[in-house]
Structure 1
Amino acid sequence: MIGKLKGLVDSIGDDFALIDVGGVCYETFCSSRTLQALPRVGEATVVFIETIVREDMIRLYGFSSETEKAWFNLLMTVQGVGARVALGILSALSPSEISSAIALQDKAMIGRANGVGPKLAVRLVTELKGKVPTGPGIDAGTLGLQTALGEGRAAGTVADAVSALVNLGYSSAQASAALARIVAREGADTPTEKLIRLGLRELSS
């Protein structure tokens, strides 16, 4: 199995990239975030690979980090999520945003991804509650509220603080990321008012 490719970017398509490794070009299907993160054609890159083998095909999926690759595999454990939908979610949301959406049970945030309808969004936040990808090379700092909270679901105080920050003009992703850092320092039982105050300080720094 191919676990990682080190080579040159040969070309970039709408949903794939060709990576030239010693004169052999590998077609790797990627999220739009991974494609945007790739260097220019002709430059060196490293792409983490998940190889999916079926009776009628062998397909490589490429990721910019071990964390993104691990989320791809975790997302596909949910019924109704195949490789295409998993890439759609990773295109719409960063790993930390996915984690925070699950912790906040934010179905609308997950539903922003192509191929994710209301029922599937509910299934995703329900079945992945408390689950985070693990493995070598995964950056725990990018796993958002889900990791900071431990049990994987935001207490009412945290959800209220996120809502308050969103009402003040910050995006859900910004608010969740700031509060993930605060909860990791202060604890999940921090009162809402203090979370909001610290969140504003974190976001303005």
Structure 2
Amino acid sequence: MIAKLTGIVETVAADSVVLDVGGVGYLLTCSGRTLARLVRGERAALVVETFIRDDRIVLYGFAGAGERDWFRLLTTIQGVGSRSALAILSVLDADQLSHAIAAQDKTALSRADGVGPKLAARIINELKDKVGSLAPAAGVPAPAGARAPAAPGEGGAVADALSALVNLGYGRSEAYAAVVAAARTAGEGAAVGDLIRLSLKELSQ
């Protein structure tokens, strides 16, 4: 099983890269976000996920372990294949994906090619309890059961503040991240007005 490859970038295509490792060229399928970091002729190190199919071995390359772990998690969901998972990781980095799921932001997930509202809703429903705080280290999902101060569908001050910010025109994911940061600053039992004020301050930074 190949876990990591380090070599010289030989060619970069629309969805893959050929990495020359000691004279052997490895073809790795990657997200657009990872491919954007690669420069032909330069040295690169990619974390690898190996899929063994009936007729071939497919290698997927990732800029870091966080992206790989999200790929693994996404592909456990019915209807999310490797192509869809890479499409999601092309438009959302690990932290943004964590934010989108925690905020139940179907619009953000639907920006990925091949991901419609129904599939986005399924991803959120199946992963919302596996996403912990909004700032996981290196983008790696936190252990199941770890949660932010409040989820947006549960009512209360956090949900009200989130609704207010969305109505002001902020994206749901960025608004939720700001509200959660504000809730941590203000402490338990903070009023809606205080959360909105602190959230706007957070968003202005």
Q: Same fold (TM over 0.5)?
A: yes
Given that residues 46 and 62 in structure 2 are in contact (C-alpha distance below 8 angstroms), is that contact kept between their aligned partners in structure 1? yes
Give 3-state SS (helix, strand or coil) of 1:37's partner. coil
Given that residues 131 and 141 in structure 2 are in contact (C-alpha distance below 8 angstroms), is that contact kept between their aligned partners in structure 1? no
Cα 1:183–1:13 change in 2 (3 A) is farther
Cα 1:123–1:188 change in 2 (3 A) is farther
Aligned to 1:165: 165
Quote the offset at 1:170 in angstroms. 3.7
Say if 2:27 is the partner of 1:27: yes
Given that residues 88 and 114 in structure 1 are in contact (C-alpha distance below 8 angstroms), is that contact kept between their aligned partners in structure 2? yes
Say if 2:43 is the partner of 1:62: no
Give 3-state SS (helix, strand or coil) of 2:35's partner. helix
Given that residues 101 and 131 in structure 2 are in contact (C-alpha distance below 8 angstroms), is that contact kept between their aligned partners in structure 1? no
Which has the higher mean CA deviation after the structures are superposed, 139-148 or 26-35? Answer: 139-148
TM superposition score normalised by structure 2: 0.82
Cα 1:115–1:188 change in 2 (3 A) is farther
Aligned pairs for 1:46-195 (under 5 A) are 46-132=45-131, 140=137, 142=139, 149=148, 153-154=151-152, 155-156=154-155, 157-186=157-186, 190-195=190-195
TM superposition score normalised by structure 1: 0.82
Unaligned runs of 5+ in 1: none
State, as a whole percentage, how many aligned pairs show the same letter: 48
Quote the offset at 1:125 in angstroms. 1.0
> What do residues 108-155 of structure 1 show as CA deviations (whole Å, max 9, x unaligned)?
22222111122212211111121139xxxx95264699966178x334
Q: Which structure would you say has the larger Rg?
A: 2
Quote the offset at 1:28 in angstroms. 0.9
Given that residues 10 and 19 in structure 1 are in contact (C-alpha distance below 8 angstroms), is that contact kept between their aligned partners in structure 2? yes
Given that residues 107 and 122 in structure 1 are in contact (C-alpha distance below 8 angstroms), is that contact kept between their aligned partners in structure 2? yes
Q: Which amino acid aligns with 1:130?
A: D
Given that residues 29 and 61 in structure 2 are in contact (C-alpha distance below 8 angstroms), is that contact kept between their aligned partners in structure 1? yes
RMSD across aligned C-alpha pairs, in angstroms?
2.9
Taking the aligned partners of 2:6 and 2:188, their CA distance within structure 1 comes to: 41
Give 3-state SS (helix, strand or coil) of 1:55's partner. coil
Aligned to 1:37: 37
Cα 1:159–1:18 change in 2 (3 A) is farther
Cα 1:120–1:192 change in 2 (3 A) is same
> What do residues 38-96 of structure 1 show as CA deviations (whole Å, max 9, x unaligned)?
2x211121111111111111111111111111111101111111100111111122222
Unaligned runs of 5+ in 2: none
Q: Which amino acid aligns with 2:83?
A: R
Taking the aligned partners of 1:198 and 1:123, their CA distance within structure 2 comes to: 32
Cα 1:188–1:175 change in 2 (3 A) is farther
